């Protein structure tokens, strides 16, 4: 009765991400309900910001399917928010009892090389940012929600055909229709990527902070590039926007300093806030002879680009662009 009362007090208290409730064999846990647990982190390390304590989990980690605590056995069903974040783990074994992986669960696991997602896992939030050494991602066969078709080294949401997590060795299958939010975020060893023609949407922050990314072979079917999709890809140089593209959202190419030229296809109808600001652009080419057909945020391009770069427009369209509220701040508007 005493143990039950203690348990009820614990689960009724407001739960926060920085709390662990007990430890067994070097792994920390929170109660989910009276029968199940989630793996979490050592709370004092995260609340106090002690970097050495953040390295508590290291090397090979094996998560047990069940844990016995104070005489009762609980099932481990979740890996919680930031459970292994910033830890020096090289591998992790996830039991078939786990059904969910929380946000940033493996964020900044610089030494993690591979991960296998059991067929039991049916919920995965963005969890693998900053895993620079991650080269192998595999979902076990039989998973009803996710797959790693064609040995693609990625996690794909089966029903939507959306790639939700990739690594530097990912090869995007030609059955994928979208790149999910933060799918390749902070994937530092990714130098090039081919996006097949099946893909129509690139999600928010999909490739942000991919600092080694230099070349993107983009699908001819992409219609939308999400907010911050290529933000801080500081070495991105080779990229052709497809003629299918309609929307370039806010900060999509912010801090892409190596990209000196961009051609805005006629299909584009919206360019969001700071989409190309700041950048290293020297040439912006607009294919459409009607400048009013594109809604352009006032600060989509920074003032240095407007002052010093060349805006190249169709023949006989210079005066239209000079009088357009969308483009009139460019000082060097020339014909093709």
Provide the whole-model pTM: 0.89
Q: Give dist(CA 222, CA 274) in Å, integer.
A: 20
In sequence order, the β-bridge partners of residue 202 are: 179, 225
- The pLDDT of residue 53: 45
- Which position has the token pair 């055909």? 161
- Which position has the token pair 């794909």? 156
- The pLDDT of residue 44: 57
- The pLDDT of residue 3: 43
- The pLDDT of residue 138: 97
Q: Give dist(CA 175, CA 316) in Å, integer.
A: 42
In sequence order, the β-bridge partners of residue 69 are: 72
Q: Give dist(CA 17, CA 104) in Å, integer.
A: 12
For CA atoms 195, 196, 200, 203, the dihedral sign is negative
Strand intervals (E) in 167-236: 178-179, 192-194, 201-202, 215-217, 224-225
- The pLDDT of residue 1: 44
3-class secondary structure, 136:
strand
- Report the half-sphere exposure of 327 (CA within 13 A, side-chain side): 29
In sequence order, the β-bridge partners of residue 162 are: 157, 178
115 touches 102 (CB < 8 A): no
* pLDDT one digit per residue (tens) for the chain, 336 residues: 444 444 443 444 434 444 679 999 999 999 999 999 999 987 654 444 544 444 479 999 999 999 999 999 999 999 999 999 999 999 999 999 999 999 999 999 999 999 999 999 999 999 999 998 999 999 999 999 999 999 999 999 999 999 999 999 999 999 999 999 999 999 989 999 999 999 999 999 999 999 999 999 998 999 999 999 999 999 999 899 999 999 999 999 999 999 999 999 999 999 999 999 999 999 999 999 999 999 999 999 999 999 999 999 999 999 999 999 989 999 999 998
Contacting residues for 263 by C-beta, under 8 A, at least 6 apart: 240, 241, 285, 287
Q: Give dist(CA 152, CA 169) in Å, integer.
A: 8
Domain 1-141: give its CATH superfamily.
Answer: Ribonuclease Inhibitor (3.80.10.10)
- The pLDDT of residue 165: 97
In sequence order, the β-bridge partners of residue 285 are: 263, 312
Task: Kindly state the tokens that stand for 193.
Answer: 């990527």
333 touches 327 (CB < 8 A): yes
């Amino acid at each position: 009765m005493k143990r039950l009362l203690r348990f009820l007090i614990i689960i009724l208290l407001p739960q926060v991400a920085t709390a662990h409730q007990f430890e067994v064999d070097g792994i920390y846990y929170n109660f989910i309900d009276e029968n199940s647990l989630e793996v979490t982190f050592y709370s004092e390390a995260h609340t106090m910001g002690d970097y050495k304590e953040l390295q508590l989990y290291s090397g090979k980690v094996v998560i047990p399917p069940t844990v016995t605590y104070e005489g009762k056995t609980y099932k481990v069903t979740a890996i919680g928010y930031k459970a292994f974040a910033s830890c020096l783990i090289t591998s992790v074994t996830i039991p078939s009892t786990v059904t969910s992986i929380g946000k940033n669960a493996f964020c900044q696991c610089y030494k993690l090389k591979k991960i296998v997602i059991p067929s039991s896992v049916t919920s995965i939030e963005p969890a693998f940012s900053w895993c620079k050494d991650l080269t192998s991602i595999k979902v076990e066969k039989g998973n009803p929600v996710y797959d790693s078709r064609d040995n693609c080294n990625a996690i794909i949401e089966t029903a939507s055909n959306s790639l939700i997590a990739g690594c530097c060795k990912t090869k995007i299958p030609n059955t994928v229709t979208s790149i999910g939010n933060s799918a390749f975020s902070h994937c530092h060893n990714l130098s090039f990527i081919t996006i097949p023609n099946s893909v129509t949407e690139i999600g928010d922050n999909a490739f942000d902070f991919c600092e080694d990314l230099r070349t993107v072979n983009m699908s001819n079917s992409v219609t939308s590039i999400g907010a911050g999709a290529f933000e801080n890809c500081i070495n991105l140089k080779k990229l052709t926007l497809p003629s299918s593209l309609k929307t370039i959202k806010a900060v999509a190419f912010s801090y892409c300093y190596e990209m000196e030229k961009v051609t805005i296809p006629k299909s584009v109808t919206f360019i969001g806030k700071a989409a190309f600001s700041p950048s290293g652009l020297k040439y912006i080419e607009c294919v459409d002879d009607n400048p009013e057909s594109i809604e352009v945020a006032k600060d989509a391009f920074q003032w240095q680009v407007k002052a010093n770069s060349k805006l190249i427009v169709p023949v006989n369209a210079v005066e239209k662009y000079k009088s357009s509220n969308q483009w009139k701040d460019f000082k060097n508007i020339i014909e093709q």
